[in-house]
Amino acid sequence: MRNPFEKMPTVLTADELIDKAFRRAEKAASAFTPRGGSRAKARQREELRVRTVSNVVRDNLRKLLDRTPGVSELPEFYRELVDTLVDRDQFHRSLARVNWAIKTIRNLEQRYAEKIRYSRDPEEIAKLRRSFYGRVADVIKSIADDLEYLNQARNVLKDLPVVDLELPTVVIAGHPNVGKSTLLRALTNAKPEVASYPFTTKGINVGQFEEHHLKYQVIDTPGLLDRPLSERNEVERQAILALKHLGRVIVYIFDPSEYCGYPVEEQIHLFEEIHREFGEFPFIVVLNKVDIADEEKIQKVEEFVRAKGLEPLRISALKGEGLDELKRRVIELVKPMVEEQARKIMEKELRKYREELEL
C-alpha cells in the first residue's frame, strides 16, 4: 500500500544538472592516472571527462524515467487524481523529451569519444572535449522547461493519498463538525492516518478495522464532501470523481443538534447533492449527537431520510452509542465485496503458484 509516485526523485534544474556533471568530470579527471606519452595521457583524460559527463547526465535522467510510473498503467483512482492535478499530455511530453535527451547525449558521447581516441593533436583533443561540453549543455538547456515542469508535478504527486486499493472502502460525508473524524476513530479503534493532499483544504483521514479476519477501510474527506457543489472548484470536483473509483458505501452524518454550526435545512440540502453524485452507492444515514439534540429536529431529519427510502440510525459517536449497529450495517453491505475481493486475491495467488510449479 503506497503512493505510486513516492519514489519519483527530485528533479534537478538544467543548470544544476550541467554543473553536477561538469564538476564530477573534473573530479574524475583529477583522480585519474593515465599511462603512456603526453598525447596518450591527454586522450585518456579527455575521453574520461566526456564519458563521465554523459554518464552523470544520463544516470540522473534515467532515474527520473525509471521511478516515474506510467499514468495509463495506474489504477483508475490514481489516474483520475493525476488528471486532476497535472496536465497528463504535458507530463507525457516532458518525459518523452527527457528520453530524447538521454539518447542524444549517448550518441554524442560515442561520436566525440571516438574522435578523441583517434586524434593526434593535443589541442584538437581539448577542443573536441569543449565542443562536447557545449553540445551536452545545449541539449540539457533545451529540456529545461520540461525538467522544471516534472519537478513541479513531482512535488504535487508525491502527496497523493496512500490508500489500500484492494479494500472496498466506506466514505464518510457530511458538513464540517458533525462528527466525521470522531466517528472514524470510533469505527476503526485506531488513530487514523491524517495527511494533507493537494486537492483538499484540510486533509484526508484514513482508517481501517478488522472483523472476522476481514479488513475494512474507512475514509473521511474534509474539504471535499462537506459543502455544496457550487462552492467547490474544478480540482475538488475531479477529486470527488476519483473517490467514486474507491468508495463502495457512503456513511452520511447529520447533526440534528446543529452544534456543528449548520441548520438542519442546510444539512438536508447538502445530503441531496451528495446523494445525487454518489447515487450508485448504498447509503447509510446516521444522526449524530442525538443525546444533545432537540427531538423535533431529530424527527424532521428522520422523516426526510425515510422519504428517500432509507432508514436513519441514531448515534452518539462521542459516547459510543449506536456504533455497534452502525458497524453491523456497514459490514452487512461491504462484507460481500470484501469476500469477493479476498476470493480474487486467493485465485490470483493460486494461479501464480501453479505457474511456478509448471516452471
Of 136, 157, 178, the residue at which a domain comes to its end is: 157
Residues 194 and 79 in one domain: no
Q: What is the CATH number of the domain that holds 38?
A: 1.20.120.1190
Q: What is the pLDDT of residue 242?
A: 60
* 65 lies in the same domain as 115: yes
**Look-up of cell digits 565542443:** 131
- CA dihedral for 266, 267, 271, 274, sign (positive or negative): positive
Does a structural domain hold residue 294?
yes
State pLDDT tens for residues 39-88: 888 889 999 999 999 999 999 999 999 999 988 888 888 887 788 788 88
3-state secondary structure of 18: helix
Q: Looking at the structure, do residues 193 and 139 belong to the same domain, yes or no? A: no
Element (H, E) at 10: none
**Residue 162 domain flag:** no
179 and 148 in a common domain: no
For residues 117 and 195, state if they share a domain: no
Q: Could you list the beta-strand ranges (E) of the chain.
A: 169-173, 193-195, 204-211, 214-220, 247-254, 283-287, 313-314
Residue 358 placed within a domain: no
Residue 7 in any domain: the answer is: no
Mean pLDDT of the chain: 86
178 lies in the same domain as 305: yes
The CA distance from 203 to 206, in Å, is 10
Are residues 20 and 99 located together in one domain of the fold?
Answer: yes
Mark whether 182 and 132 lie in a shared domain.
no
Structural domain boundaries, residue 337: 169-352
Amino acid at 187: L
Q: What is the CATH number of the domain that holds 228?
A: 3.40.50.300
Strand order in the sheet with 313-314: 193-195, 204-211, 214-220, 169-173, 247-254, 283-287, 313-314
Q: Which residue has the cell 472502502?
A: 169
pLDDT at residue number 248: 80
pTM, rounded to two decimals: 0.72
Select from 59, 56, 139 the least CA-distant residue to 100: 139
In-domain check, residue 127: yes
Domain ends where: 105, 130, 157?
157
| 265 belongs to a structural domain | yes
Angle between helices 38-66 and 122-142 (to 10 degrees): 10
| 174 & 114 share domain | no
- Does some domain include residue 21? yes
Amino acid at 206: V
The last residue of one of the domains, among 125, 157, 189, is 157
pLDDT at 229: 66
The verdict on 75 and 117 lying in the same domain is yes
Into how many domains does the chain fold? 2
Which residues in the chain show pLDDT less than 50?
Answer: 201
Residues 66 and 112 in one domain: yes
Rounded Cα–Cα distance for residues 102 and 104 (Å) = 6
Tell me, what amino acid is at 277? E
| Assigned domain for 23 exists | yes
Residue 172, SS3 per DSSP: strand
Question: Within this chain, do residues 179 and 152 fall inside the same structural domain, yes or no?
Answer: no
